[in-house]
Chain A
């Protein structure tokens, strides 16, 4: 089938394109086609035939073939003539248009990245910023941007700034964060909230939690080292101590931090664990596996699958990921036995920033019979992953695999939702729908979500449901797969946290 006239024509065109590009190769991109490449619907040459050629047409042909080979739902993509579109427009069309039962798009994660930016490296947990995570409660005017949490030792908590959870940002560099809806105003707000590099100075007016009047100060960005595990505490209750663990990022340094935290909680003989992953957008899947193992223990996980990666029908499945019983060598030496809590259930505090590897913790524990009680709002719904691919200086992210648990479940495209959240589309879990309580410190037993978890633990009852997303579904700190126009990114493209007009 591949040796027909269409194939020969494509090969000739490819050679012409290589010549026109000065030999092809990566970098640059964005050229125009020098020779028309024939398109035969349903016939796909290997993507390698078009790689590195960098004309718009060869880039589109490469995307078309790459998608047909590796995209998870390749058979739901309408095959269109690649000569008729710009590359960005063509890539946008190379995905399924199917919706979930709730009417949401089945594919919410389809984007590109400049390759040089994507390949940039950092010391684990180091990023340019102030050390503050903003909760963008309302992205459109009247906006509301509030401090969700801060990093220890960062500019955000240094004298002068003293930022703490609940402080609301009123102006950035003199621009009204709440009401300014001009393009230049939005740009200025984003530039101030999300500095692109260390050494930037911006002026903020904020109103601290409980304060009547605002205050003004300047913040200078720096290379801040994130602490992925904060707030490990034990809450005494009449039925035994309850552990609380605030976990924000599945980065390499989380391995040692989680081992230390779980060791401390084990030493405290906790009877239950509240795992706060409301702002945790994921990261290394191995870290999720380690934490799930530490929660469930070896008896429940021995010989069981943590997650199996399933590709499209052309590529099948990889051998399952087992629960990691030992350290994997991320920030500790590999092969050390992990401490375990051996819990039959866990409470998770979630929001729409709870995504990907964080959802794997929930799903994998359910797969081995650990009861997961969810308090908060629906998770983001990303049982999927990518193998990003560069071509001509752009790295493409197109969903290529799905993760399923030990009982073969991975269909939570609408996330997980507390069972009492009426109208929520996610896979229902026992628990309570509770809004993010920015009026209390994280780990404070009076904080809304933690308080509800403690209440449910005692009485299996919930406060009145409150964890709904406002219109547009953009409550909480991380919006889902925000459009690629305007604004700046935080750590990951699926953790978009932009201010929009």
Chain B
């Protein structure tokens, strides 16, 4: 053990002696670790946000989507989900279906969500064509458990009026003020009056649910009027009449909607977990992909370390000879060089973790992503860099250890 302390010092010394080479060698490991830790952190962060959102919306929010989003295996577990839903042209859901869902047994309320294409213009200002305009009905705040910060949501009696409720971010972006109540904007040639502003939604970037903080909500009838009944409904949200009745409500909706569609099950009724699964599927696919790329980078980093250690062994052949002459066994030489490779690689790992934490801070500060770097990720990163060092340091170290002392001493 005490030999290793000497070796550790020696490893530090030789790292310092070849500062640039060591840094460049570590770069592969650094990039790999940063990529893995950051990507896993982002994935974890998004997952937690989605979970929080589901918690916020309630565990009993039922989502009806057009198309067969999910294929079910035995015992109604989801086998796989179709991430490309909604790309198949016209939606199978219509306004009539909202009524069907609302009147199904065990369902208290139903709210549609439809995307209304078009540009928003405020006071003859620039046209904002990236604003999400959603058509819904008066039940939306109830379905989402979402409170309003200012004003009120449109009730059933105003569902035909040109009114709008907007998210906080949209308020800032469009009107440059936080309480633009009573202000107007024009949308598809008609003026809409802002009558409410939503409290902050838990945003869910990367999730198929759009960012509601930056959206404008208008009544469905008004939307139909301005678009000529071409609003694409992408979701119907529904709530069961009592908590714990979600399963019964889903069955009832399936039955009623199936009947209404003439026996065609061209829609999916999902509970919150299943909605989540549809979203996190994309996410985990992405995470796996980038983690794979990062793993390759780690591998390349390991090869880099092996290369540098081979050079180092050749350079220090004479030293190896001297060490053997004064009594170092092959095993001791081996452990010295393995330790050096490990120090390089672990130093790379530590720098990588530091950089990941920095990137994490920057992401928190400047983007809506909220990465979560868990201690598990840090432990795994450290262990992986350790393993890379040992595995890729082994070959050069064996070469060093097996060298004949006389030959090594002759080497200059």
A binds B: no
Task: Mark B residues whose CB is within 8 Å of A.
Answer: none
